[in-house]
Structure 1
């Protein structure tokens, strides 16, 4: 199995980091330090080496270091497909992010052909008990890891839906205006739906085939409507049939944007939303690991994992089990915690980095690299 790893990382005026250089090779990285020191900012920078807006879904302007607000730059060396690729990303004066791959300007979605990055952050801890939008985003992030076309389909769908919703709000009734938009919505919506269905199948298989210390989840894609039309032709018919109802509501009421992810703790038969906080966290970890295993089988290399403060929610036995699974998978994991002791059971070679805060600036120091 080939390796996928970010071996060098440089941050310049990114968030709290004025300048940080991390050389870690293909090894796992354990980052520790007090809250607010800038640990998560490093993980956010790594998350930019995959399509999308990163683990915080922040704008390029929000990522710049304050108060200078000069702009920022993130660069690194990515080992992928048995080659080393130089990737640079930057923003100047709040402008949209620019990307270069091996010194050539590229669209950021181009990174999907090289890199897969999965993450678990504290903001996801309430995934099962909050609104459907967060669960759709969680599912779509997993779908994107398997299907690079998912990002383009999602962006196209959202843009077209905004145009259709504008017509609805303005009470436009001419069917000619809706026909073209609904055709585009149906084409991209069918891709989104199929990618989600296939993603759940991949996750289910990966959970069933693995021996893991973490509980498995039965997952189902549900919709506000009784059923989600699966073909573009059926979905187009559904948009047309719902048009008068949508006019009354002023928005589109049918389609993949109305989907939800329903999860059940398999062993107990309890909906994930009714599980304890610890069980909900364990289910999330299980799904991230299943996503990683399924990807490794599909593309021949495990993805890069970003696990922010994940150890704080686990007892020593579960922490050891998590680290053992990461090691068995062969994935490069970037992990954060408040203390070095949280990574005591991390076996094998790894890089330890201590992050501190000094006069409003984050400072990172490689403590051990073995």
Structure 2
């Protein structure tokens, strides 16, 4: 059976270079990075090399890069520490953030009795920036804004400059979940008005279980995980050297080939959109995912014009034909409540129709895209 993987927003396959670098690290550099002997120093050197390289690519300082177990830990750490250490009493976000942010924000509202504000969204899922400015002006409370750069389900791109500038103007902290965009977009953190961002290696062809947080210098945040002086005292725990090496290789390779791979993947998405429109004229695109300029080039979220009763068989039909994609995000699979993102932006009639997220990488081909279109067309017209 043909196998077509179109779920790269959930996780990506490892690059061969990443596997090779991790194998070498596992076999030849097994010392504890905190040990002072040669084995430990070798691992420590590799970790600091990775930190400096990542910082240089982002135009940040090495001390501003903190390795974590992934994006979820990084989001939790930043939000919690900002509330605890910076006296944040108002947290402004939206209801279509990743649950790593939403659930943390809800917990903080209960634990610290902070005010939690959700920005209204337009029909496409964009937060209202005029309302953001009003919320920032409302009182003198210490505020934290948390809005994701690329929505993981509908692909909308946030104007980081606009949001960051508003936060700077009114003295608010700005955090962005950038798990879907680090490794896929260029960054210059010396110019971008942002205080905190997060990344996960497995979203750009690195290993699972490792990522990093960018914490702007002099942010005033203190460690959340205690027990050791690792990560320059900010995050205790023995560093997973092999995973950090894999993250570094994936990150380095992603940016070395960013322009060519971005052009190629954008071509796949554009072709997918055009062929779907021809094959299923009544198909709809959720959020801005069908707009090549205002959404990420890596994913598209489609709504199929089929009988709701028949839609229960859609994922089974795709899987039977070897196609991997998502009904909402991978984090939502197994949930009967459906996509919290689509629930916020679609009406009841639209929600009754099946929606699917397809996401692409440079490992995909036009042949695979055409095959997926053909399988969808067959299902819609059967």
Q: TM class, shorter-chain normalised? A: under 0.3
**TM-score, length basis structure 1:** 0.26
TM-score calculated relative to the size of structure 2 = 0.25
